[in-house]
Structure 1
């Protein structure tokens, strides 16, 4: 979700990109796939497999878009991990402002079906703003924030999410949770629960070791983790204005 840390530069740059010029990204943005195509991408807000149950506004393609400096640092991390049979897996990168406003509307719609409760089993969604899990202004919109995890390339990652299946909530054992094709970090992605806090004491030693491994790999390239979300990282100084251009398909 959104980290609730406020953006110091709150300028909103509204940019419209016609489909015919989808590659023309503003403000030093790039498609991560153009920097390193080996980094796995599962951009969840471009699908219905997320806490809102629908693709978010502005996600016209499941592509990770970032500031160039961010992409180059991710490539360096990926190169380090590849020697360990590991890979980064991106869940979210640049996020249009309109998508954050879509989250706001979702939180205020007065409905909490069972599928949504998988992500916030103990917290009413109207409380997610106050508790720092969602913000109407997100660092993601600057291109300097990321949601990601690690993939063990030697493991069987073939299980796929089935929207017709009733999965356990995001704090359940990994066998009962919706599959994410990644290592077991102790909770699923976007889990608004104390177990999702990076230093949560209630996870296993192996799960804690994976989290520390991810944090350490990201820190070596200057990324800082958000303590309430083991999956959320930002690169200080790489952001700036918040943007609202839609994510369009990348042309080959």
Structure 2
């Protein structure tokens, strides 16, 4: 997603002195995407595929998430440019990216935390955490601060298109997006050889563009180094 607080240890990115993992980074005073320096990826990659999950109800919360006023992918300009380059390079192989989430407002993360604390709401258990007790999600999978709120992290998959690039289908990655469990780990031994190979294809394409995978989630990538590693945003997505 990712909801893990700060993620820097998992990403192993040397960015110099940072706040402790239990300290929230400062919130930007920006009130609009323009003030925050966030751009819509489609201004750079007009045909990129999107299925922005948190703008609708097809997600682990089961409802539109706070802060998502439109199904759009916003990113800081350096991250958007890097992602557009990855998309362009994939076209030569008749492949493309499909985006599930990009910049995530801090208020959306707060919505996740409230949902995780409501143990009576089990509507999405079968699809998103079938092997876990919901009480295990808060802390292990959902934390009060997300790297997505820094504007350089994306959740996505890889699609294979036909020879004319007319019809594209997502590759089988072994789990759906936002599956809570070890099978979603990028190197999970629980997936088939084909599913693992598909994850590696995605990782190779993203790493070539300067993005690094979060090992707990095959879909989660962050541009490294991040443009704003010590600041989060809360402007709405629209």
Verify same fold: TM over 0.5.
yes
Structure 1 window deviating more from structure 2 (6-15 vs 137-146): it is 6-15
Write the distance in 1 (CA, Å) between the matches of 2:6 and 2:86.
27
Residue number in structure 2 paired with 1:11? 26
- Alpha-carbon deviation of 1:25? 1.8
Residue 57 of structure 1 corresponds to which residue in structure 2? 66
Output the TM-score relative to the length of structure 2.
0.86
For structure 1, the 5+ residue unaligned runs are 18-23, 159-180
Aligned residues: 219
Residue 192 of structure 1 corresponds to 180
In structure 1, the residue matched to 2:22 is none
Match of 2:235 in 1: 245
Which of residues 197, 217, 223 is equivalent to 2:211?
223
Q: Runs ≥4 in structure 1, deviation > 4 angstroms?
A: 155-158
Are residue 141 (structure 1) and residue 149 (structure 2) matched? Answer: yes
Superposed displacement of residue 15, structure 1: 3.6
TM-score computed with the length of structure 1 as normaliser = 0.81
Aligned to 2:138, the other structure's residue is in SS state coil
For 1:194-244, what per-residue CA distance to the aligned partner results, in whole angstroms no more than 9, with x for missing partners?
A: 110000011111111000010111111221101110000111232331000
- Following superposition of structure 1 onto structure 2, how do residues 114-193 of structure 1 map, counting pairs within 5 Å? 114-131=123-140, 133-154=141-162, 181-193=169-181
Paired residues of 1:196 and 1:229 also in contact (CA < 8 A): yes
RMSD (Å) for aligned C-alpha atoms: 1.9
C-alpha separation in 2, matches of 1:196 and 1:157: 26
Gap runs ≥5 in structure 2: 8-17, 20-24
Aligned match of 1:68 in 52, 62, 77? 77
Decide whether aligned partners of structure 1 residues 14 and 111 sit closer, same or farther in structure 2, where only a CA change above 3 A counts: farther
Aligned to 1:78: 87
Greater per-residue helix proportion: 2
Q: 1:38 aligns with which of 39, 47, 58?
A: 47
Give secondary structure in 2 for the equivalent of 1:152.
strand
Deviations 1:31-89 (A, max 9, x none): 00101112111100000000000010000000000011111111111111111111001
